[in-house]
Structure 1
Amino acid sequence: MKGFTHRQFLVLQDDIELVPEHPERVPTFAQAEVFTVTNAWLEPHRQWIQNWQQINPYIVANGRFVTPQMLDIVAQLFDIPMALFDAEHALQRRMEKQLARTAIFMLLHQGRLTSDDLSKQALSGATIFLLAPSVQKKRVVKRLIPPIYKTFPLGPPLTPTRCKDSEGQIY
């Protein structure tokens, strides 16, 4: 049902009949637009829904233990796309694996991270996450990432690093 400030969906199965408990108090919506959500309509979104069913318990159970500072530390990792396993590995000396995973999921929930993999395949350690485009545009200060770390499978270090190449140039 569409309202002035909201839109509601109600999934009705054929074998369920809904009858108001107090019909005299129930308003009627004769002109209301009715949209039936069928299994066929949900099917393209099934993988996304299943992945969020796995993600939500982390946020609910552990979210209170993740501080804003922890979220900022985790967000710094995703200047380049990174797999969930690699991010957890890069954070293992800073925080427990469960909290690292929770922080990643919280950033995803807040819209600071994104992942195209979540709509295509099951959540796993290989799921790739990256900064959301809106967050990338807001970033003014970028970390200096030496070229050697750009191909390193575990991603760049958490703190800026300066290195010298064979010619003595600092990069």
Structure 2
Amino acid sequence: MNKKQEAAETSFVETQTLPWDLPRFRNWIAVARIHALWKKVFSEALGPLGIQVAHYDVLANIFHTPGLTQQALAEKLLVGRSAMSMLLPELERRELVERRGDETDRRVRRLWLTPTGEALTRKAMAIHVARIEAMMTVLSDAECDAVGEMMRRVAKALES
């Protein structure tokens, strides 16, 4: 814990300020609410394609990095291998993803989209982009850039 965190915890305990009275807490709740609303809106938009957000995350990452390993995908999505081992067989059964052995390391399985998987992913990506554009139109380009920069700084702080 760093000095800022310790000071914030001490201040909270000493003053008994309620969490929702703290600007950082209120703002974080706003971010969490947006995330929850986004998942709902995006899930509904993906419904006609017969996929969920978790499926899309897998498909879009394989589309972006063909031949990605299962381990690298799990790390990128911040999920455990067990989550991957549940999603991948379903996507394989639907003939959207192929798992192939690595040419140099038999222990490694690499992931590839099938032509059907690529076509579905392209449709899902178009929905994704359209929904993001619609959501973010309430911000100017400068505001949008500022939000992105701030969230990258918060992410960096959490990662360290």
- Short-chain TM bin: 0.3 to 0.5
Q: Work out which of the two has the higher radius of gyration on C-alpha atoms and give 1 or 2.
A: 1
Under a length normalisation based on structure 1, what TM-score does the superposition of the two structures give? 0.35
Under a length normalisation based on structure 2, what TM-score does the superposition of the two structures give? 0.37
Report which of the two has the higher share of helix: 2
